[in-house]
Amino acid sequence: MNIHIKKQEKGQIVVILVLAFVGILGFVAIAVDGGMIFSDRRYDQNAADASALAGAGIAAQYLENEEINWTNFDCGSSTVHAAEDLAVAKAQERATANNFTIDSTLANQHGVVVNCVDNEWTGSYNEKYLEVQVMVSSDVNTSFAHLFYNGRIRNTVEAVARIRPRTSKTFGYAIAALREDCPNSSTGGVNFDGGGHTDANVTIFNGGIYSAACMRGNGTVAVYSDTEVGNYYTTDLNLVGGATVSPYPQKATEDLPDFSLDPPNCSGLTNFGEVKKPDAAHPIGPGIYSKITVGNNDDLVMNPGLYCVGAFSISGGTVTGSGVTIYMNGTGSNDWFTVSGGTVSLEAPGDDSLSPAVKGLLVYMGHASSVNLGGNADSYYAGTVYAPRALIDVGGTSDINPTYSTQLIGDTVTVHGTARIDINFDLSSIFQDPSYVDLYR
pLDDT tens digit sequence for 208-245: 999 999 999 988 888 999 887 889 999 999 999 889 99
pLDDT given for residue 370 in this prediction? 97
pLDDT in tens, 50-94: 999 999 999 999 999 999 998 889 999 999 999 999 999 999 999
pLDDT at position 441, please? 79
- Cα(306)–Cα(321) distance, integer angstroms: 11
* 251-261 mean pLDDT: 91
pLDDT value, residue 227:
82
| pLDDT at residue 198 is higher than 60 | no
Three-state SS string over 304-340 comes to CEEEEEEEEEECCCEEEEECEEEEECCCCCCCCEEEC
CA of 110: how far to CAs of 91, 114, 152, 410, in Å?
12, 14, 16, 48
Query: Would the pLDDT of 369 be above 70?
Result: yes
Q: Is the predicted pLDDT of residue 394 greater than 80, yes or no?
A: yes
Weakest mean pLDDT among 139-143, 336-340, 419-423: 139-143
Strands (E), 52-181: 111-121, 126-139, 154-164, 173-177
Confidence tier at 207 by pLDDT (50, 70, 90): very high
Q: CA-based diameter of the chain, in Å?
A: 141
* pLDDT tens digits, one per residue of 323-336: 999 999 999 999 99
All structural domains of the chain with their residue ranges = 21-166, 173-433
State the Cα–Cα distance between residues 368 and 411, nearest whole angstrom: 9
What confidence score (pLDDT) does residue 428 get? Answer: 86
Closest to 382 in 3D by CA, of 363, 401, 397, 409? 363
Residue (of 284, 259, 288) closest to 271 by Cα position? 288
Q: Could you give the CA distance from residue 46 to residue 63 in angstroms, rounded to a whole number?
A: 26
Q: How far apart are CA 190 and CA 199, in angstroms?
A: 21
Global pTM?
A: 0.84
Q: For the residues 178-182, what does the mean pLDDT come to?
A: 97
Q: Is 255 left (phi over 0), alpha (psi -120 to 50) or beta?
A: beta
Find the mean pLDDT for residues 109-124.
Answer: 92
Which letter does DSSP use for residue 399 in this model? Answer: T
107 SS3 class: coil
What pLDDT score does 396 carry? Answer: 65
pLDDT at 24 over 70: no
Amino acid identity of residue 262, one-letter, is D
Percent of the chain with pLDDT over 70: 85
Q: How far apart are CA 254 and CA 14, in angstroms?
A: 71
Which 8-state DSSP code applies to residue 103? B
Between CA 302 and CA 324 the distance in angstroms is: 8
* Position with higher pLDDT, 417 vs 210: 210
Query: From the centroid of its chain, how far is CA 260?
Result: 8
pLDDT bracket for residue 359 (50, 70, 90): very high
Statement: residue 49 has pLDDT above 90 = yes
If one compares 201 and 140, the residue with the highest pLDDT of the two is 201
Band (pLDDT 50/70/90 cuts) for residue 145 is low
Q: Write the DSSP symbol of residue 289.
A: E
What pLDDT was estimated at residue 48? 96
5 has a pLDDT exceeding 60: no
